[in-house]
Amino acid sequence: MKMNTKASTLLSAFVFLTFFHLSLVSCRKTISDRGENGFTLDLIHRDSPHSPFYNPSNTQSNRLRNAFHRSFSRASFFKKSSLATPNTIQSDISLIPGEYLMKLSIGTPPVEIVAIADTGSDLTWTQCKPCENCFEQSSPLFDSKKSSTYKTAGCDVEECTSIGSSSCVKGNVCEYQMSYGDQSHTIGDLAFDKFTFPSTSGKDVAIPNVAFGCGHDNGGTFNNYTSGIIGLGGGEVSIINQLDKEINGKFSYCLISIPLDSPISNVTSHINFGSSATVSGPDVVSTPLIKKDPSTFYYLNLEGVSVGNKTLKYKSSKIGSGGEEGNIIIDSGTTLTFLPNDFYSSLESTLVDSISATRKEDPSGTFRLCYESENGTIDAPTIVTHFANADLELSPSSTFAEIEQDDPYAGGAKESHGMLVRQRRQRVSFWFEGSGDDRRSLVFCEGSLVVQRKKDSEGENQAGDLSIETFTFASTCGENISIPNIAFGCGHANRDSFTNNAIFGIIGLGGGNVSIVNQMNKEIKGKFSYCFIPLELLLDSSNHINFGDNAVVLGPDVVSTPLILREEDPISYYLTLESISIGNKTLPFRSSKISPNDQGNIIIDFGTTYTFVPFDFYANLEKTLVSLINATRKNVSSGFLKLCYESQNGTINVPKIVAHFTNADIVLPTTNTFTQLDECLVCFTMLHDDEIAIFGKLAQMNFLIVFDLVGNKVSFLPTDCTKH
C-alpha cells in the first residue's frame, strides 16, 4: 500500500507507560483530563510558541535541523550508558536534556519553575539560593529558607544512596553531583519539599515530601528561561517512582506532530499521570516494558520492521547488558530514531527499492536518504514496527520529515555510527569513531571514509575507494623520503566540516592496522615523537613530528610509562594515570569506563585540545584548586570552561600540579593547565566528561613525547619545543 504524505492525517503515537507494559494508540482517542488519582500537565516542546526557548526569527527548518543535531549527541550518550556491563565501574551521568518543558511549583508557599522534562534522567533539580556558580536564570531562584516544608536529606536515606554520585561533606546533608553529556552539570543538596502540579483540569495537585536536587553549582548549556530538569526516567529518585502511590505507576504522553508551517504549532502536548493515563479500546496494543541496567531508560523489544510487504528482522546485541531483551530505548527527548548500521543499511536499501521519487543529497549532510519533492509530498510505502505483541503502523509524518520547503524530503531514521568496516570485493566503506588526527586509523586523500568524532555532533561523512600508492614525505633535512604501497582512502564524496580549501584530508596516526604508523613499521621501527610549541609562539616556529631513529630520546630527565593496548579500541593510545598532585595533596585517579584494575584509564591524544577527566575526579580537582589559589574567581558566560580567574597580566599563582602516570611523574607548568582567554581572564583547561578520559594537547605543550609501539611505552622529556 502506498501513502501520500500530504493526504494522510498527521498523527502521533500516544504512549501509555506502566512499569510492566507499554501501550500505544492514536492521538485521536478521547482522553479524560482527570480521573480518580490522575492528573494531566502541559508538555511544552522547546520550539513551540509556548516555550521560553521560542525564537520567532528561526524558521521551522532551522528548528528541525537543530533538533536533529541534538538527537545525534543524545543518542551517543544512550549508547555510552547502555553498553556498560555489570562489571563496569561507572559514575552517574545523564543524557543531554531533551525536547520538552514542564511547569511545576516547589515549596510552601509554592514557587513556579520551568524545567526540561527528560525521560533519560532520574533526578529532578532546580537552581537554589545561595548559588555559588549558576547559569543565568530569568526567574527568581528557589529560596529554600522561604519554604516551610523544605528539609534536607540525610546521608543514610534511601534516596541519597540510590543516586550513586553523592557524598557527605556537610555533616549529615546528602550532597549530589550530576554530569550531563553536553558538559552541563549540577551540584547541590538533596532535599525534600512539596511539589504542586498545575493540572489542566484547573485543580492543582500537591504531593508532599518529593526528593529533588537543590542546586548551588550549576552550569553548561542551559537557557536562562529554564531552571533545571524534571527526571521522568525509571530510576529510584525519578518523579515517576516517587509518585508511585499517587499515580499507580502509570503515565502517558501524546506528542503533537508539527510539520512546516503547521496551523497547529500553537497547540501544546500533554503528559498524564495515574488514572488519567489509562486508555482502553480495540485500537490499543501493548508491549512489555523491559527492566534492565541502567534502570533510568525505558527498554522495549523490537522484533522487526516491515516496509510494504517486506519484513526486516531486527537484531541488536549492543543495547544494555541483557542481550536481545530490551533491544531498543523509547525516549521522548530524542527527535530521530537511531538504528544499528547493518539494520539501517537493509532498511535504506528496501526503501530505495520501494520509492520511485528522485533521490537527492541533503545539502547539510545530516541525512543519507532524501528525495526531491515539488509539493512537500512523496509516495512512501507503509512502514510497520513490530514490537513484541504490538504492531505499530507509522504514518509518513513519523518516518519522513520535510526539512525545507522545496528541498529534499529526508528519512527520519539515522544509522548509529560505530566501529564498523564493511568490505566488498573492490570498494570498502569505513565507519569510524575518533577524536583528533592521532586517533584516525585510516588516511584519506580527497577521502573514502566516514568519520564520526566522539565529541562532535555534526559528523564528517566521506566515501570513496581504498587504494595503494607511494607516499613521499618532505623531510626537514631536505631529502624526501618515499615509501611504496601505502594504503589510503581516495575519496569521491566528502562533506561537512572540511570547509578549509587548504585541507585535502586526514593523516591517520592511530594505532590501527591501516594507520600510517603501522604501515611504516619496518621503516620507523614503531617509533614516532612530537613536540608541540605553545600557541603564542607558533607564529615564529613550526611543530615537528619525528619517525624512526629521529624519534629516540635519552637522558636523565626522560621518564617513561607503559603504553596500554586495548582490544576494544586498537586505534587509541592508552596510558595509566594513577593520580594528580596539587601542591602537597594527591588525588587518586580512577576512570569510570574501564575494568576494575584500571589499566589504560586515559587516552593521550593531540587532536583533543583540552584534558577530560571523570566528573567526580574533576569535582575534587576543582575544589582543591579553589582552596589553594588566591585570586578572584570569575564566571564565563559560555559555561564551557568552569574554573576561571581574574588576571591583570595573563598569569596567576598556581600550586605545583603533577600528573602521576605509572613509573612517570609529569610536572605540568601553569601554561599547560591554565590558558589566557582574554587580557584579564585565565581558565583551567581540564574539563569533566564521564564518557572518556583524555590527556589533551594543551597539557602536552613543551614536552617531547615519544611513542614506542614495539617497546609499548610512551616517554616524556620536558623541553623548549621551539628547539626541536
Q: How far apart are the first and last CA of the chain?
A: 69
Is residue 288 reached through a cis peptide bond, with omega within 30 degrees of 0 on the bond before it?
A: no
> Residue 673: which of 682, 684, 665 has the closest Cα?
684
How many other C-beta atoms lie within 10 A of the C-beta of residue 673? Answer: 20
CB neighbour list of residue 538: distance below 8 Å, 6 or more residues apart: none
Q: Is 583 left (phi over 0), alpha (psi -120 to 50) or beta?
A: left
616 noted as active-site residue: no
DSSP string, 322-345: STTTT-EE--TT-SSEEE-HHHHH
- Distance separating alpha carbons of residues 187 and 132, to the nearest angstrom: 10
Q: Nearest 5°: phi and psi at 635?
A: -90, 140
Q: Choosing from 331, 689, 690, 708, which is the catalytic residue?
A: 331
DSSP 357: S
Query: With the CA atoms of 671, 677, 679 and 682 taken in that order, what torsion angle do they form, in degrees rounded to the nearest 10?
Result: -50
Query: Among all chains, which residue has been given the C-alpha cell 541502567?
Result: 294
CA distance 260 to 25: 24
Whether cis (ω within 30° of 0) applies to the bond prior to 109 is yes
Is the separation of the CB atoms in 314 and 326 below 8 Å?
Answer: no
**CA distance to 117, 121, 309, 320, per residue, from 181 (Å):** 16, 11, 40, 18
DSSP character string of 451-498:
EEETT-SS-EEEEEEEEEEEEEEE-TTS-EEEEEEEEEEEEEEE-SS-
The DSSP code sequence of 22-50 is: EEEEETTS---S--TTEEEEEEEETTSTT
Q: How far is CA 632 from the centre of its chain?
A: 32
* Three-state SS at 552: coil
Q: Please confirm, yes or no, whether 437 is among the known catalytic residues.
A: no
DSSP string across 407-422:
S-EEESEEE---SEEE
* Beta-bridge mates of residue 310: 307
Q: How many residues does the chain have?
A: 724
- Distance separating alpha carbons of residues 374 and 407, to the nearest angstrom: 8
Is residue 258 a contact partner of residue 265, using CB atoms and an 8 Å limit?
yes
Cα gap 545→551, rounded to integer Å: 8
- 47, 92, 118, 217: which is the annotated catalytic residue? 118
Grid cell digits, residue 678: 582574554
Find, among 390, 200, 405, 399, the residue nearest to 286 by Cα.
390
Name which of 217, 129, 226 is nearest 177 in CA terms.
217
Residues with active-site annotation: 118, 331
